[in-house]
Amino acid sequence: MPKTSSKTTTKKFKRVKVATKKEIAEIKDLFLLHYPQSVTELEYRNLYELLISVMLSAQCTDKRVNIITPALFTAYPDALSLANAELDKVKEYIKSCSFFNNKAKNLIKMAQSVVENYDAQIPLEQSELVKLAGVGQKTANVVMIEYTGANLMAVDTHVFRVAHRLGLSNATTATKVEEELSRKFKTELHLLHQAMVLFGRYKCKALKPECEGCFMEEYCKSKEGFKV
């Protein structure tokens, strides 16, 4: 997953006109129509693999993570093996990932706390996931969204950008955008999260958004800035 942090700011985003209630409802319907059953592009086979993939994906592309993880999961197939791993060996497996030094430390610490406190099983509750090393609210929410279809929003750089361009939020942090989107959309947040990630990644891109023929054009508050 591309970068996000609660410290994400909107310095480069101009304040835009806020979408009306009617527009929000129509935007929601359009996202659900165009992305009815979207899921993460991270490849995983169980909750342990999903959590590790999401942790690695902070400020790293899903494609890169999918290249790294097969060998990592073969070497460390569960929390117990990862808890006992040598730091340098874990670093070696994930060295092509951004911030691999910290991520390697956090992966081992996460696994150790899972072994110590959760009988070596990854807890499947947002409130417990956030207690694990290296697992913030966004990571916990993404895991819950993907694994359980929980009605939660998570804001990465794509969701953040799309929310601003559509006038869904003018908030300056990912946490506030998450709160605002959750309040405005209310239901089906997991599907809307995935939809906004994919829309932002492939259509409403940061530098050259594909505005021509965009299904959100009618609701877009930013398209004038991209006209050539």
Can you tell me the distance from the alpha carbon of 203 to that of 199, in angstroms, rounded to the nearest whole number? Answer: 5
Residue 223 beta carbon to ligand SF4: minimum distance, rounded to whole angstroms = 4
- Using CB under 6 A, which of 150, 210, 224, 227 touches ligand SF4? 210
Measured from the CB atom, the residue of 38 and 53 that comes closer to ligand SF4 is 38
Q: Does 24 bind ligand SF4 (CB under 6 A)?
A: no
Window 126-165: contact mask with ligand SF4 (x via CB under 6 A): ---------------------------------------x
Measure CA of the first residue to CA of the last residue in the chain; give whole Å: 30
Q: Which stretch binds ligand SF4 (CB under 6 A): 9-17, 33-41, 132-140, 213-221?
A: 213-221
Q: In the range 190-209, which residues lie near ligand SF4 by CB under 6 A? A: 203-204, 209
Write down the catalytic residue from 28, 156, 184, 221.
Answer: 156
Nearest to ligand SF4 of 42, 168 (CB atom):
168
Per-residue binding letters, 159-178, with ligand SF4 (x by CB under 6 A):
------x-------------
Number of residues near ligand SF4 (by CB under 6 A)? 13
3-state secondary structure the chain: CCCCCCCCCCCCCCCCCCCCHHHHHHHHHHHHHHCCCCCCCCCCCCHHHHHHHHHHCCCCCHHHHHHHHHHHHHHCCCHHHHHCCCHHHHHHHHCCCCCHHHHHHHHHHHHHHHHHHCCCCCCCCHHHHCCCCCCCHHHHHHHHHHHHCCCCCCCCHHHHHHHHHCCCCCCCCHHHHHHHHHHHHCCCHHHHHHHHHHHHHHCCCCCCCCCCCCCCHHHCCCHHHHCC
Check if 186 is active-site: no
Residue 211 within binding range of ligand SF4, rule CB under 6 A: yes
Contact between 115 and 79 under an 8 Å Cβ cutoff? The reply is yes
Query: Is residue 105 among the annotated active site residues?
Result: no
Q: How far is the CB of 27 from ligand SF4 (least distance, A)?
A: 10
Give residues in contact with ligand SF4 (CB under 6 A): 165, 203-204, 209-211, 214, 216-217, 220, 222-223, 226
Active site residues: 138, 156
